[in-house]
């Protein structure tokens, strides 16, 4: 049994990448895996202050917000799913803030099985051009190549993904952890 942490950076509760996260989680749970699906939009996570306080006090950020709990969940996870819609050729601000706030543990991010779930209102070429921040983050993990990529292109309206076979693909990817 694996411990999966799904980080959903969709600001919309019924957004396309959020719905795909829920399908992935359902598939993983069906196989007996422990799944923690976190919606960043529901968390209080401040921007990194670049104060280096975390480097001076043993890896604990000076901000008192939900990120401390998120870092603990992150360190326990065997599987990491990074899910985001594409906004203006990049990941959402919520995902970028999460990535930046892992700085207190950046030297000990650990080894994870990594999966991407990315949705966009335009084509898959736009998704590919938007992955720099995710790829850069994953490079800092220990020997953790991206094992699965699920791209939902040309789905602009919230919930439109429910009308496609990509929902089944998300469920199947979760089952195959």
pLDDT in tens, 120-129: 999 999 999 9
**Whether residue 108 has pLDDT greater than 90:** no
Per-residue pLDDT band for 22 (boundaries 50, 70, 90) equals very high
Q: How many CB atoms lie within 10 A of CB 146?
A: 16
Higher-pLDDT residue of 105, 43: 43
| Paired tokens of 41 | 């939009």
Tell me how far apart the alpha carbons of residues 81 and 93 are, in angstroms, rounded to a whole number.
Answer: 17
**Whether residue 78 has pLDDT greater than 90:** yes
Q: Which residues lie closer than 8 Å to 92 by C-beta, 6 or more apart? A: 9, 10, 11, 84, 85
Secondary structure of 115-167 in HEC code, one letter for each residue: EEEEECCCCHHHHHHCCHHHHHHHHCCCCCCEEEEEEECCCCCCCHHHHCCHH
1-28 average pLDDT score: 97
Q: What is the pTM of this model?
A: 0.95
The confidence score (pLDDT) of residue 120 equals: 95
The confidence score (pLDDT) of residue 23 equals: 98
């Amino acid at each position: 049994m694996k411990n999966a942490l799904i980080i959903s950076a969709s600001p919309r509760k019924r957004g396309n990448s959020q719905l795909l996260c829920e399908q992935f989680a359902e598939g993983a749970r069906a196989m007996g895996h422990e799944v923690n699906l976190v919606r960043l939009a529901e968390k209080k996570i401040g921007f990194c202050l670049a104060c280096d306080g975390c480097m001076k006090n043993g890896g604990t950020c000076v901000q008192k917000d939900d990120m401390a709990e998120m870092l603990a969940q992150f360190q326990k996870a065997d599987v990491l799913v990074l899910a985001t819609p594409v906004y203006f050729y990049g990941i959402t601000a919520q995902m970028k803030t999460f990535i930046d706030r892992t700085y207190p543990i950046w030297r000990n991010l650990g080894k994870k099985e990594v999966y991407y779930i990315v949705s966009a209102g335009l084509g898959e070429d736009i998704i590919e051009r938007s992955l720099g921040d995710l790829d850069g983050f994953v490079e800092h993990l220990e020997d953790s190549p991206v094992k699965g990529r699920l791209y939902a292109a040309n789905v602009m309206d919230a919930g439109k993904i429910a009308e496609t076979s990509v929902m089944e693909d998300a469920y199947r990817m979760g089952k195959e952890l």
